[in-house]
Amino acid sequence: MRSLAHRHPIGTFLAFVYSATALIFAVPFLSKAGIGVIDLELPGAAPFILLSALSLVVSAFVATALADGRSGVRDLRKRVFHFRVRPTWYPIALFALPAVALVTAALVSGGAPLAAIAADPAILVGVVLGAIVAFALVNWWEEAAWTGFALERLQPRVGPLKASVVTTWMQATMHLPLVFIAGGVTGFLAESWFTGLPGGGPTQSPSLKTPPEINIPFIADPMNTLEAKHWFLISDFASVVEMFTKNLSVLTILGLVLIFGSIWALWHTRFGLRLRSCGEAPAAAESLGVSSRVGWRISGRNCCASA
């Protein structure tokens, strides 16, 4: 077993993870919360999600012990409990998502969300406490396994981008049972938060106002006329121009700015070169005087900002 784990540590880890996941989610999957084969009512999927998260980190440590021995276990433990950013960034990560969601809701829906929170501040407190509990009980242990074990071993072999894609699909495969049983968690939250709101309910979130749109009629109308003529290439080009000049959401523009801005920053600035070198070849970056810890800090701050 040790020789097999040493030759194929990721395969050993996945075998443990998928076997444990199958055992943990078998009952809720077959119960009324899932496909309804067993006449069994469950309070929700939260306990099983917690067990799956714990099974992940246990599988990572067991696979590491089999593959690398005690020294590997010590290294993995250091990665799990080594905080690479300053403590001040953790409150930012905690409050960034509710703050951005609140600002977005205020921009789209006006003052109604702010009025609702002012009338019942427990809503905001519940969101923050829920994020803390979810991180401490689930997210931390999931990332310890997928990032601390799987991604750590894949990156030197296939590079950071391919490793991230492969790890994402590994993680998505593990979560397939939640497609059938996650209603125990999401249904409870949706019923608690959305029931009673216009257009909201246990299975649907309330509708939001349409974001502002940009229209340039003197360009869009002639392009629409050209598109209707179905001329080869000309009509195709006209349809593309019309797409960017008629009913264009500001969110689409914001997304394009972020995409091309990130590309420019990563590939045409000194900052981007140093950041990429920290991820793609940290040893080479260190030899040139670029501390890879800087890359870790920047990545952590970006994660905080995009959380």
Q: What stretches of the chain adopt beta strand conformation (E)?
A: 213-214, 248-249
By DSSP bridging, strand 213-214 and strand 248-249 are antiparallel
Residue found under tokens 């959380």? 307
| 135 φ/ψ angles, rounded to the nearest 5 degrees | -65, -45
Percent of the chain past pLDDT 90, that is, above it, reads: 1
- Per-residue pLDDT band for 17 (boundaries 50, 70, 90) equals confident
The pLDDT score that the predictor gives to residue 134 is: 77
- What pLDDT band is residue 306 in, cutting at 50, 70 and 90? very low
Angle at alpha carbon of residue 232, lines to 227 and 233, rounded to 5°: 75
Q: What is the pLDDT of residue 291?
A: 63
DSSP one-letter code for 269 = S
Residue 188's pLDDT band, with cuts at 50, 70 and 90, is low
Model confidence at 64: pLDDT above 70: yes
Q: Name 197's Cβ contacts closer than 8 Å, sequence gap at least 6.
A: 206
| Least confident span in 60-69, 91-100, 181-190, 260-269 | 181-190
What does the chain come to in residues?
Answer: 307
* Spatial contact of 74 and 13, defined as CB atoms under 8 Å apart: no
Residue 160 confidence (pLDDT): 75
For residue 304, what pLDDT is reported? 45
Q: What is the mean pLDDT of the chain?
A: 77
Chain mean position to CA 179: 16
Confidence band for 189, pLDDT divided at 50, 70 and 90: low
Asked if pLDDT for residue 3 goes beyond 70, the answer is yes
Mean pLDDT in residue range 236-242 = 88
Q: Calculate mean pLDDT across residues 272-291.
A: 74
Give all strands (DSSP E) within 62-111, no chain letters.
Answer: none
Residue 146: pLDDT band (50, 70, 90) is confident
Backbone φ and ψ for 248, nearest 5 degrees, come out as: -85, 115
91-141: pLDDT as tens digits: 777 777 777 777 777 777 667 767 777 777 777 777 777 777 777 777 888
pLDDT at 305: 45
249 pairs with which residues across the strands? Answer: 213
Rounded to whole angstroms, the Cα distance separating 5 from 205 reads: 46
At residue 292 the predicted structure's pLDDT band, cuts being 50, 70 and 90, is: low
Span 22-37, average pLDDT? 76
pLDDT of 35: 67
pLDDT of residue 201: 66
Task: With beta carbons less than 8 A apart as the criterion, state whether 223 and 245 touch.
Answer: yes
Q: Per DSSP, what are the bridge partners of residue 204? A: 201
For residue 238, name the pLDDT band (cuts at 50, 70, 90): confident
**Strand, helix or coil at 297?**
helix
Range with lowest mean pLDDT among 18-27, 34-43, 211-220, 238-247: 34-43
Q: What is the pLDDT of residue 227?
A: 86
Burial 102-136 (b: 16+ CB within 10 A, else e): beebeeeeeeebeeebeeeeeebeebeeebeeebe
| pLDDT at 33 exceeding the cut of 60 | yes
More confident residue, 214 or 198: 214
Q: 170 φ, ψ to 5°?
A: -60, -45
For residues 266 and 272, is the Cβ–Cβ distance under 8 A? yes
* Phi, psi dihedral angles at 281 (to 5 degrees): -150, 75
